[in-house]
Structure 1
């Protein structure tokens, strides 16, 4: 089986962090078969022929291929649909330009934030559904701006959050540990927020595949487990394994995955960030030893330089080995 150091890197593979997945799962970076490598090359070649020159790096293409079980035709359709959406939504410029001054006011009704890391080194993402009040929020902002904020955070998760976490952990980290607090949510109240949440979920599944590491649904209301047992019948078994539905006694289970010092006190941890954990954005991406400027912050002439290269030209550079953290 080829390793990242043995296989010539694509000209698109410009990484400054480890690129081997920590677990030897089929189809994951550093653990691909020759057949899977060939499908990456085929997909990249077909996309280049369609005129695409961005997001053709190996890690991105592998994520899309895994999401479609390495069916190249289906993956190509997914990728093209994603690029169409990015253009229409203005995604490429959001991380650098989007401002969200209403965030503190919105957080009174719908806190959603990244906060430190779990025991595997992945970013922890937290949402509190029980306080969602769409009527109050509509007086402060719009669904469209909320979605733009969500997408901005997805972009920032991809860079700089995950690269910084990978450098600190000394291994490739592509996923997040998510905590969804359902306290205060009743089964009957869910339809009132279903529209927004369904759009948000569609963005995650269709345009940011393979980003879920673990999902903890805590403070699940009575009857939720029964409903979820029906829903999970329609989900991919791999996804189902990542989801943990917990009631009010969730703390011990959650602390097995998230260190107490990284978990906000309100969820059973010991962290009390100055000014509030939900506003701190604390994590390796804020630590000088591991953080680097995100690529989306680079001047456009630097980001588009790769378009001047001949498609299909391979660079003979070695990929950073996962065992060597990048300072």
Structure 2
């Protein structure tokens, strides 16, 4: 979900309960051109024939995320999908939820704060990283890269199986993307250099194996040097990605509140929530995924 890896490297409507209209973006279920629908059908038949299609996990929403990531090119999408399935087998992703226990979570959060915190006004889960306070040296004294990678992957899996379905139920329509906030307050060139390798590797996991899950990204407290770099790199990125990223300095609060209700935003970054009853926003991680009304009840569209 990190921006740093990105730097380097006609609307239809869905009626919900006849009460509201939700815009379905192009290339999604409910808003496909005839060519896109044909590509989806062809791609699904291809992976079925190869025996790598799992209906419970590979619904149309997921297949379309891979297709959009490769601009609906069947060959390129197929390679990306197969690479992902092979990676999942090698890492044992499907077994992680049952076998992996991250005992050092509290110690890790103290030197690398990142967490989910409620939803934005579109119903998307909000993911927050405080990049400026990452302490890589301490981080790898309390854990190692292999365990951090597994925990990172498990977080994505939980996002797909728990958080997104709960958000979808609450919103009344399918949610498959996040609103990300990267806080650069206190970041330095030396600190960034120390953390860059790890951030790049984890970001590659997102790009290669969990594509098209970033809906919006706010980079707040961006120092001048970062803003300058962004100005040079921005023309090199595709227009869709650029529209998702907003670079802000220290006067970011009003912009965040345009898309996020104050009560859903931690007080530390301009909101009113402190999760006092849960020991703080970072450990509380409030959201629909904590509400029994919205958990484990969303049916996927096959």
SS at match of 2:222: coil
SS at match of 1:278: helix
1:181 aligned to 176, 180, 183, which one? 183
Q: For the residues of structure 2 that align with 1:293 and 1:125, how far apart are their CA atoms? A: 22
CA offsets per residue over residues 64-121 of structure 1, 9 Å max, x none? 0001110011000000011111111111122333211111111111011111111111
SS at match of 1:244: strand
Q: In structure 2, what is the equivalent of residue 41 of structure 1?
A: 41
Distance 1:27 1:294, change over 3 A: closer
Q: For the residues of structure 2 that align with 1:244 and 1:319, how far apart are their CA atoms? A: 32
Q: In structure 1, what is the equivalent of residue 138 of structure 2?
A: 136
| Alpha-carbon shift at residue 139 of structure 1 (Å) | 1.1
State the TM-score, normalizing by the size of structure 2.
0.88
| Alpha-carbon shift at residue 40 of structure 1 (Å) | 0.8
Q: For the residues of structure 2 that align with 1:145 and 1:162, how far apart are their CA atoms? A: 24
Structure 2, gaps ≥5 residues long = 1-11, 15-20
Structure 2 residue 27 is matched with structure 1 residue 23? no
1:287 aligned to 291, 298, 301, which one? 291
State the TM-score, normalizing by the size of structure 1.
0.81
CA offsets per residue over residues 199-219 of structure 1, 9 Å max, x none? 011000110011001100011
Q: In structure 1, what is the equivalent of residue 174 of structure 2?
A: 172
State the structure with bigger RCO (CA 8 A, min sep 6), 1 or 2.
1
Q: For the residues of structure 2 that align with 1:131 and 1:115, how far apart are their CA atoms? A: 18
RMSD over equivalenced CA pairs, Å: 2.3
Larger fraction in helix: 2
Paired residues for 1:89-104 under 5 Å: 89-104=91-106
> 4+ runs of 1 displaced by more than 3 Å?
none
Structure 1, gaps ≥5 residues long = 6-20, 296-317, 321-327
